[in-house]
Amino acid sequence: MDGARPKICVVGGSNIDLIARVPRLPVLGETLVGRSFHLGYGGKGGNQAVAAARLGAQVAVVTKVGGDVFGEGAVRNYQAEGIETTYILVDRERFSGVAPILVDDLAQNVIVVVPGANQALGPEDVRRASPAIRGAATVVCQLEVPVETTLEAFRIAKASGIRTILNPAPAVPLPDALLALTDVCVPNEPEAAQLTGRPVTGQAEAERAGRWLLGRGPRAVIVTLGAAGALVVDEGGATQIPPIPVDAVDPTGAGDAFIGSLAVFLAEELSLRTAARWANALAALSVTRIGAQDSLPRRAEAEAWLARLGLRSGGCG
């Protein structure tokens, strides 16, 4: 990486992922025998923070965990990844967030998020963490914490002229005030459909959804399309980011790989479309492995993968 390491602040949820591999997803009322089980550290905020840190960014995370063994493990995991933990809070009355996940042989998954302590991260907690927000090049938020908490984080960021990235997941009704403070909004197809009230199942519908969201305030919208790549929509028009063919094993955390990578590449002053192409490539790499954080590449591997795909050569951009 050329120059100083970019500073990223992630405000969001921390969960423990409880991942079971199954031959297929069960039908209602059915009991299946799983093939394997994996416990990993996750949450959208956690995954995106680790994705950015592994690419060489200086990352601070603002989150809340329970006063339990899962919470203790989450803090140790952040520290092991080199992430600043000054603003991790512990709630002694709530359990840590958990996410039971089923992954089938077709690499399809279903996820149930039980927020726990994440729902107790409030605007006042974010205000106490304002030094980390104001000191960042990019602030990243999702919706696994209360919307008013995300809104306060973006208010602080934009007051200091800092770039904001919103991952509206899980999708909930969004106030215009939040979208107006968003530089880049990054939903996937189901989230874009829930936000717009219209089906989003391909590029044409994704472009309509992107333009609709753009009209509510963001400077740019990127709709991630899974195995079909992504679509960037801004004032310059709509650009398809082509898919990267891989042998998918587990899609868990692919969206977080995209967003964490995007935050770093934008902080390194790449253009939006170049950053989206590189982030899309690293998300594709992540689905070739089991787990969320376990699948996230480190910088040297990311560089080699991008070079192999012909997306870049030489040093960091």
Q: Per-residue pLDDT tens for 161-170?
A: 999 999 999 9
Distance CA 294, CA 192 (A): 27
Q: What homologous superfamily is domain 7-24+35-308 in, according to CATH? A: Ribokinase (3.40.1190.20)
Split at pLDDT 50, 70, 90, the class of 2 is very low
Those residues with Cβ within 8 angstroms of residue 99's Cβ, 6 or more apart along the chain or in another chain: 15, 16, 17, 18, 42, 43, 111, 112, 113, 114
Q: Quick one: residue 43, left, alpha or beta (phi over 0 = left, psi -120 to 50 = alpha)? A: left
CA distances from 255 to 40, 60, 103, 315 (A): 16, 20, 16, 25
What is the predicted pLDDT for the residue at 17? Answer: 87
Q: Tokens for 115?
A: 């927020």
Q: Render pLDDT for 76-120 as a digit per residue (tens, 0 to 9).
A: 999 999 999 999 999 999 999 998 999 999 988 898 889 999 999
The residues assigned a catalytic role are: 256
User: Does the pLDDT of residue 1 top 90, yes or no?
Assistant: no
> For residues 14 and 96, is the Cβ–Cβ distance under 8 A?
yes
- Alpha carbon of 176 to those of 173, 179, 182, 214, 253: distances in Å? 10, 5, 10, 11, 27
